[in-house]
Amino acid sequence: MTYKNTQKLDNNRDMIIPCKKGNLKHVSEFISLKNLDFEGDLSSCQLVYGKTGNRIYLLGLGENKDAVKIEDAFRKLAFDTKKNWNKGIQVSAELLSDEEIKQAVIGLELSNYDIGKFKSEQKKEVELEITFISKNNIANLLKEGQYTGETTNQIKALIDAPANIKTPEYLGEWATKSAKKHQYKCTVLHKDELEKQGFGAVIAVGQGSVNPPVVIVTEYKTKPNAKIDIGLVGKGITFDSGGLSIKPSTNLHYMKSDMGGAAVVLGVVELVAKLKLNVNIVGIVASAENAVDKDSYRPGDVINSYSGKTIEIIDTDAEGRLVLADGLSYLIKQFQPEKIIDLATLTGSVVRTLGFTAAGMFTNNVDMAKTMSSIGFKINERVWQLPLFEDYEADLHSDIADLRNFSGKPIAGAINAAKFLEAFTESHKNWMHLDIAGVSFGDSPYSKMKSASGFGVQLITNYIKSLN
């Protein structure tokens, strides 16, 4: 899709007229308000035909409280009806705020996502021109919405891709290509380099797979010689079989999505570069396949980590915290970032706690929690804080190593995982962990099976924007 901004509506062409619930006065400009069976409920739509037979879509945006879901309304309308738009459509933006315009563009762009990338017959994409009608110059908003939507579609494609295609090395190639295209730095540490540099935990998790692990280091800087404002770390398990502590086979195919945190990190760094945000950011992806093999690491093993801490493996299915531990230690040692956020589809426990509605947020920093929470509510990518009380520390105790990767108890799983990560943060004052297991991948109106949601790209990008 391409997006244009003009001042005057062409009454003869197709158009979308967004309507807030109970506020339909502006519609009388185009059609008679009599007998209108449409009230403006969120995502409702009424198609009427104008004088020249042009289509006029009245699109319901609901009440003020629904403003966070405007993206969904536009996405649904475009998904359902764009096959009938003749080369393009106009969107009346007079009554939309800047944020609403951006959300509209993101929604339109998300309607382009094609989940059937591996079908032998590919859908032909029709190039549509979307013209926003506004007296203001909204070109930058349109661009921002378009970039955000495009990048979100790309990270969804990564999450929905099968594990035989998106190996750790594949994620490295994805990042290398993106970095070249959008002018940021990307270094992929391959297996021999990981061994040399002491990424003991990443190596252990990946040693049962024919697809070797990698650590991807992306850097985007606008201020040379200044500190790194923010460092991101993503869990990039391209398939989580559980390892020797093997998972049950029901729904195991969905464990291709266990690199949702990595996808957000890759997406955010790309988007920050596209938007040329004034920030120094480092994005680390710790990627491995957790496979079953003669070489797999075992329950009971003691492994080394980048930090020098030794870890007793109780459960090989608690692998995410291991690769993240190395990612966090590496980030802190090499870059000393001002703020750190890690993202991971880390625990089933967070899904049982918060369902599919909010990510689990862990931090000791009250300001970061407040800011993240408020940003999340505004764009409907919500986070909810869970505690990091000292009381949970005993669960990390190992008799034979510095710590163990699982308490062995079926309680407070998301918190225990977060406490484990905390042990690798060098008590960094501005660290936050987001457990996105319930929100990154799930049911969707646009697919019959579970699929990627795109959760996190806007949340983290907006958080980064709030730092200025």
Among 44, 151, 296, 345, binds ligand BES (CB under 6 A): 345
The footprint of ligand BES on residues 418-447 (CB under 6 A) is: 437
Burial, 70: exposed, middle or buried (Cβ in 10 Å; 0-12, 13-18, 19+)? buried
CB burial string 29-66: b at 16+ within 10 A, e below: ebbeeeeeebebbbbbbbebeeeeebbbbbbbbbeeeb
Please tell me the distance from the alpha carbon of residue 444 to that of residue 448, in angstroms, as a whole number.
7
Toward ligand BES, which CB reaches closer, 66 or 240?
240
Binding residues with ligand BES: total (CB under 6 A): 16
Q: Is residue 291 within 8 Å of residue 243, measured between CB atoms? A: yes
Tokens for 176?
């290398």
Interface region with ligand BES, contact rule CB under 6 A, candidates 4-12, 76-84, 139-147, 313-321? 313-321
Does the protein bind ligand BES through residue 258 (CB under 6 A)?
A: yes
Q: Is the dihedral of CA 336, 222, 181, 161 positive or negative?
A: positive
Catalytic residue flag (residue 247)? yes
Query: Binds 451, which of ligand BES, Zn ion, none (CB < 5 to 8 A, cut-off by type)?
Result: none
Rule CB under 6 A: is residue 315 a binding residue for ligand BES? Answer: yes
**317 binds Zn ion per the rule CB under 5 A:** yes
Applying CB under 6 A, among 66, 109, 240, 326 the residue interacting with ligand BES is: 240
* Residue 240 engages Zn ion in binding (rule: CB under 5 A): yes
* Nearer residue to ligand BES within complex by CB, 307 or 349: 349
In angstroms, what is the minimal distance from the CB of 352 to ligand BES? 9
**123 is an active site residue:** no
Listing DSSP states for 308-347 in one string gives: S--EE-S-TT--HHHHHHHHHHHHHHHH--SEEEEEE---
Structure tokens belonging to residue 72 = 């969904």
Radius of gyration of the chain (CA): 23
Identify each DSSP E strand in 201-346 by its residue range: 214-220, 230-240, 281-290, 302-303, 311-312, 339-344
Partner from ligand BES, Zn ion, none contacting 291, C-beta within 5 to 8 A by type: none
Distances (CA, A) of 263 to 307, 328, 410, 457, 460: 24, 17, 29, 9, 12
Per the CB < 8 A criterion, the answer to whether 31 and 24 are in contact is no
299 is a contact residue toward ligand BES (CB under 6 A): no
Residue 320 sits in the site that holds Zn ion (CB under 5 A): yes
Pick from 3, 132, 362, 406 the residue near ligand BES by CB under 6 A.
406
Smallest distance, Å, CB 386 to ligand BES? 14
348 binds, among ligand BES, Zn ion, none (CB under 5 to 8 A by kind): ligand BES
Binding footprint of ligand BES on the chain (CB under 6 A): 240, 258, 315, 317-320, 345-349, 351, 406, 413, 437
Catalytic residues: 247, 321
Binding footprint of Zn ion on the chain (CB under 5 A): 237, 240, 258, 317, 319-320
